[in-house]
Amino acid sequence: MNILSKLFGHNSQDGAATTHLTASEYQQRFVEAQVPHLLLDVRTADEFGEGHIAGARNLPVQEVAQKMGEVPTDKPVILYCRSGNRSGMALQLLQTAGYTNVYNAGSLHDLVKQGLPTQPATRR
């Protein structure tokens, strides 16, 4: 893997840039490297309130199209949800709108398992 691949995402067999990050890749490429980015939790507000990755911002996938203007274009956007499905949908919406520096980090469970700090539930 060359340095450009490490910085901007490794390539798939057909040469297309990948937009999926494992929890480990996210940890290494963005957290440990201290790369400014937006971590976006696309679960519902209730799910987000039950606990999320520290520093994440909530934008439910159902609201991505309407609130796309709130998503920055000048830094990487990393998406996650409960299983990786909704973050995949949000990824497609953002890419269709022209976002090029956006990644699906998959599930909250995998990110927590990687050791990323969490913000506990805010509701009782």
d(CA 79, CA 2): 25
- Catalytic residue status for 81: yes
DSSP reduced 3-state for 120 = strand
Token pair in block for residue 24: 């480990």
Q: Which of 23, 42, 64, 81 is catalytic?
A: 81
d(CA 79, CA 97): 16
50 in the Ramachandran plot: left (φ > 0), alpha (ψ -120 to 50) or beta? alpha
d(CA 55, CA 41): 10
Residues annotated as part of the active site: 81
